[in-house]
A and B are shown apart, each in its own frame.
Chain A
Amino acid sequence: MIGRDILGIEDLSRSEIELILETAERMQEIGTREVKKVPTLRGRTMINLFFEPSTRTQTSFEIAGKRLAADVVNFSVSGSSVSKRETLLDTAKTLDAMDPDVVIVRHRVAGVPYRLAEVLHAPVINAGDGAHEHPTQAMLDMLTVMEQKGRIEGLTVTIVGDIAHSRVARSNIYGFRKLGAEVRVAGPPTMLPADIESLGVKAYTNLREAIDGVDVVMALRIQMERLDGACFPSVREYSSTFGLDRAKLRFAKEDAIVMHPGPVNRGVELAHELADHRSSVILDQVRNGVALRMALLYLVSGRLKAEEAASAEGAGPKAAARRGGD
């Protein structure tokens, strides 16, 4: 997998995901040591290219890189490329000239990591592109479920919230389905995207039905701007209809776990009491985030050698490598 772009769960095969999760499990142990560092990526350069600020994800990647002894460089780009008159192509070429071994990209708009990956010789890891995909989040979610339940095959997972605008939802839908779980989505009609069932999920507008007998309930973060009239009339109505609390959770299985990508809007998606409840694995998700990102950095960091790049047909240096995954 060296040199492979990790742009979305949609492009990864089941066996690739399983390899990544298995590797992440091994990386978990490093976080329990006194010296939380291994020399594996010593001398390698990792660039965090965050067009959209994100302390949590960026920090998680940074810690992951440093635990592997990589040199981590943070590029925070504010403003769109339009306002700065710098095209994405120029940004990519500039970065490429610095010979990084891996580039992590986050952008407010879907598709940017894909366009950058076509030009960069280093592998690109998508840290979130618009409402499209957030593959590392989905994989750390899957890792957490594996940890808690021992498997993913045969489980039922419900994702609740603003599905239409959520990259976490999409990546989790692809990921959990690829590994054999049944996935449901729930939210108000204004927050369910067109033809969502074409992704192989059942859509619900009734929370109780949606979580009836499920093993995992994943609540998504609501952007407050969407709750004042645009997609939903008020915070109060959202939390009473779709917010999770202990009472509603009783419709799920008794040992159901509650997940959330964070940060939690207490009282909106999750009742105050639930965020710290024993069924909540939110902190495990965060811890697993570092292990998962370490696993990816270990597996993919490294520029494609010149011969491999030259022999790849199609545009860009990594066209052939990217045609992986079944």
Chain B
Amino acid sequence: MSRLLIRNGRILDPSQDLDAELDCLVEDGRVVRIEPKLVEDGAEILDAEGAWVAPGLIDLHCHLREPGQEYKEDLASGGMAAVAGGFTQLACMANTDPVNDDPSVTKYILDRAAKDSPTKIRPIAAATRGLEGQVMTEMMALREAGAIAFSDDGATIMDSSVMRRVFEYSTLAAAPVIVHAEDCHLRGGGVVNEGPVSTRLGLPGNPVAAEELMVARDIRLAKLTGAHLHIAHVSSAGSVELIRRAREEGVRVTAEVTPHHLTLTDEATMTFDTNTRVAPPLRSASDLRVLRNALAEGVIDVMATDHAPHAVYEKEVEFTAAPPGMLGLETALAVTLDLFRDGTLTPIEFVRRWSTNPAQLFRLEGGSLRPGSPADIVLINPDHEWTYDAGQGFSKSRNSPWTGQRMKGRAAATIVDGRLVYHHDRGVLIR
């Protein structure tokens, strides 16, 4: 029987509305007791030194590139980056090579993850074969193989009749459909937010309308079919409005927002740094304000990184040729703690959006420290100051706009199934 006692921490468990200085006892991979001043002999002691003690972060949106693009990242390196960032569970997208549109690929990912990844990995399978937006995948078989949701992320299903059938069928599989909402014709060759910044930069613009059009369409279709629509990386104020109204009408729509859309505007692209090229693009200051408020209000339910590694030689090219995307796992805490620092979110609400809500939305284990829950726990030190060097991180890639910057806030330790897998003094602990 292995036991771990976490003491001197501030317990933050949104599932129990608990915010208190308590000790936490873990036994055989499960939380067993949360009480003041626990004394347990024989347990390994982990001194939290005042850190927040919360259910581990759950990322509903990341790209781990295995199978097929292991030069950018794989389940091992992505898993290590995850635990270093405080994540105990990841949902990885299907745009691998081959695409995860077949149970064999889903099983492959789960097998490899079990061997190589210190964090739990839940595959998201494709909604259409090959991500081509034409023919539905075998959602039942994929579900059975372990897929937790369906998404063509990276691409948008442009044919509305196909999108409708995907939504309808998804209700049979009882799984959410995650959409990357972007009308590819309206977007055209757009690489930055269409507005004063794109005009100054002379780069093709991607108007908010491209996203809002698809958000509106998908909400209608979700309403029509009763499906659970989850909107990935919401970036515009207009989209937030559409989601708010849809909620009022009772549509089953949930939404996520990324750390970069919560903290960076299109002004960040003025240096032509390709690490600021993302899809959807960074938007205006007023969009950013609306997103932050929406997250606080609950119109947006969760934060998700959209961790998208790319090789150096793929990014060090002219702006329009660089693939969109930036890293996110290792900087997510430091960047989003900004919302705690400016009072937008209290600590428990912060944790709710990174852990409890993701678990509830996608019906995953985790997100709670209720006795009996799996011991997926993160110790967060919101005041720890450090300098982020993407070249020295656990991810194989380096495409982050924050590299070289001073950050505040970090995971002090990460525990998966009761086992300490990351400690900031000792690094990632391989089993």
Is B86 close to A, CB under 8 A? no
Chain A neighbourhood of B316, CB < 8 A: 87-90
B85 on the A face (CB < 8 A): no
- Closest chain B residue, CB of each to CB of A118: B271
- What bracket does the count of chain A residues touching chain B fall in? 20 to 34
Contact of B272 (CB < 8 Å), options: A114, A193, A315: A114
In the complex, A310 has a CB within 8 A of chain B: no
Would you call B313 and A194 a contact (CB within 8 A)? no
CB < 8 Å: which of B195, B196, B205, B272 contacts A111?
A: B272
Restricting to B268-297, which residues have a CB under 8 Å from any CB of A?
271-272
> What is the size, in residues, of chain B's interface with A at 8 Å between Cβ atoms?
22
Q: Could you tell me if A130 and B203 are in contact, using CB atoms closer than 8 angstroms? A: yes
**Stretch of A78-86, A153-161, A278-286, A295-303 on the interface side:** A78-86
Taking a contact as CB atoms under 8 Å apart, the answer to whether B202 and A198 are in contact is no
Whether A80 lies near B199 (C-beta < 8 A) is no
Interface residue? B207 (CB, 8 A): yes
Is the C-beta of B39 less than 8 angstroms from some C-beta in chain A? Answer: no
Cross-chain contact A194 with B319 (CB below 8 angstroms): no
| Closest Cβ neighbor of A89 among chain B residues | B316
Contact among A81, A114, A133, A196 with B199 in the assembled complex (CB-CB below 8 Å): A196
B212 interface contact, C-beta 8 A: no
Q: In the complex the two chains form, what is the Cα distance from A114 to B203 in whole Å?
A: 14
Q: Is the CB of B195 within 8 A of A194?
A: yes
Please give the distance in Å from A221's CB to the nearest CB on chain B: 16
Of A82, A131, A196, the contact of B321 (CB 8 Å cutoff) = A82
A contact residues around B194 at 8 Å (CB):
194
Whether the Cβ atoms of A194 and B320 lie closer than 8 Å is no
A80→B317 contact, CB < 8 A: yes
Query: When A80-B321, A109-B320 are in contact, do A10 and B200 touch as well, CB less than 8 Å?
Result: yes
A111-B203 contact in complex given A194-B196, A198-B196, C-beta closer than 8 Å:
yes
A82 to B199, CA, bound (A): 25
Given A115-B272, A194-B194, A81:B203 Cβ within 8 A: no
Could you tell me the distance in whole angstroms from the C-beta of A203 to the nearest C-beta in chain B?
A: 11
Residue from the list A85, A109, A194 in contact with B205, Cβ < 8 A? A194
Q: B318–A87 contact, CB under 8 A?
A: no
The reply to whether the CB of B198 lies closer than 8 angstroms to some CB of chain A is: yes
Contact in complex: A110, B202 (CB < 8 Å): yes
Q: A193-B198, A199-B200 are in contact. Are A111 and B319 (CB under 8 A)?
A: yes
Q: When each residue 55-82 of chain A gets 1 if its CB lies under 8 Å from chain B and 0 otherwise, what string results?
A: 0000000000000000000000000111
- Compute how far the CA of A115 lies from the CA of B319 in the bound complex, rounded to whole angstroms: 10
Q: Would you list which residues of chain A between 97 and 114 have a CB under 8 Å from chain B? A: 107-112, 114
Q: Is A177 an interface residue (CB 8 A)?
A: no
What residues of chain B lie closer than 8 Å to A260, measured between beta carbons? Answer: none
Question: Contact at B317–A132, with CB atoms within 8 Å?
Answer: no
A315 to B199, alpha carbons, bound, how many Å? 26
What's the least CB distance linking A184 to chain B, in Å?
A: 16
B429 at interface by CB-CB < 8 Å: no
B271 contacts which chain A residues (CB < 8 A)? Answer: 114
Q: Are A87 and B313 in contact (CB under 8 A)?
A: yes
- A129 at interface by CB-CB < 8 Å: yes
Contacts of B207 in A (CB 8 A): 194
Give bound CA distance, A11 to B171, whole Å.
Answer: 56
Of residues 334 through 349 on chain B, the ones whose CB sits less than 8 Å from some CB of chain A are none
CA distance A89 to B202 in the complex (A): 22
Is the C-beta of A167 less than 8 angstroms from some C-beta in chain B?
yes
Judged by a CB distance under 8 angstroms, whether A170 is at the interface is yes
> Is A29 located at the chain interface by the 8 A CB criterion?
no
Decide if B20 is an interface residue (CB 8 Å cutoff): no
Q: Does B201 contact A (CB under 8 A)?
A: yes
Chain B positions 302-329 with a Cβ under 8 Å from a chain A Cβ = 312-313, 316-321
Cβ of A111 and Cβ of B312 under 8 Å apart?
no
Report chain B residues within 8 Å CB of A34.
Answer: none
In the assembled complex, the Cα of A110 lies from the Cα of B277 at a distance in Å of 13
A12 → chain B closest CB, angstroms: 15
With a cutoff of 8 Å between Cβ atoms, the chain B residues found around residue A129 in the complex are: 202
Name which residue of chain A comes closest to B271, CB basis.
Answer: A114
CB distance from B195 to the nearest CB of A (A): 5
Known: A130-B202, A130-B203, A194-B207. A110 touches B195 (CB 8 A): no
Distance A115 CA – B272 CA, assembled complex (angstroms): 7
- Selected from B202, B319, B404, the residue in CB contact (under 8 A) with A133 is B202
* Complex Cα spacing A132 to B320, Å: 13
Residues of chain B within 8 A (CB-CB) of A132 are 201-203
0 or 1 for each of B176-206: is its CB under 8 Å from A? (1 = yes) = 0000000000000000001110111111010
Q: A80-B317, A82-B321, A194-B207 are in contact. List 13 more A-B contacts (CB 8 A).
A: A81-B317, A81-B318, A82-B317, A108-B318, A110-B201, A110-B203, A110-B319, A112-B272, A114-B272, A115-B272, A195-B195, A196-B199, A198-B196
Could you list 28 examples of A-B contacts with CB < 8 Å? A10-B200, A80-B318, A82-B321, A87-B317, A88-B318, A90-B316, A108-B318, A109-B318, A109-B320, A110-B201, A110-B202, A110-B319, A111-B203, A111-B318, A112-B318, A114-B272, A115-B272, A129-B202, A131-B203, A132-B203, A167-B202, A170-B200, A193-B198, A193-B205, A198-B196, A199-B199, A199-B200, A315-B404
- Interface of A with B (CB < 8 Å)? 10, 80-82, 85, 87-90, 107-112, 114-115, 129-133, 167, 170, 193-196, 198-199, 315
